[in-house]
Amino acid sequence: MHQEPQAVQWAREKAGLTKRALAEKVGISEQLMGEIESGWRSATPINLARIAEALNCPVVALERKRTDTATAPQN
């Protein structure tokens, strides 16, 4: 499970929170929050759930969409 960095940033901004405020709610450092938003590091499943809870949104809204080429229709 990996987060979509832009989705995390968008949801945080929509909630009116700074990176520092969200990090405090989640219980992580502001630096780690910045790395999660930039895509440099992935949030752990637990931290992603805490981020979603703090932002009052479902976890799925913050997850990276997977493209599975193995099951994609063949032309």
Instruction: Give the Cβ contact number of residue 60 at 10 Å.
Output: 10
Helix (H, G, I), strand (E, B) or coil at 30: helix
pLDDT score of 40 more than 60: yes
Question: For the purposes of burial, counting CB atoms within 10 Å of the CB of 37, is it exposed (0-12), middle (13-18) or buried (19 or more)?
Answer: buried
Q: Are 68 and 18 in contact (CB under 8 A)?
A: no
Question: For 8, how many CA atoms within 13 A lie in the half-sphere containing its CB?
Answer: 27
Q: How sure is the predictor about 24, in pLDDT bands with cuts at 50, 70 and 90?
A: very high
The whole-chain average pLDDT of the chain stands at 89
Residue 72 or 55, more confident = 55
Report the share of the chain in percent with pLDDT over 70.
85
Domains, the chain, in order of start with CATH, read 5-62 (1.10.260.40)
User: Which pLDDT score, from 0 to 100, does residue 54 have?
Assistant: 97
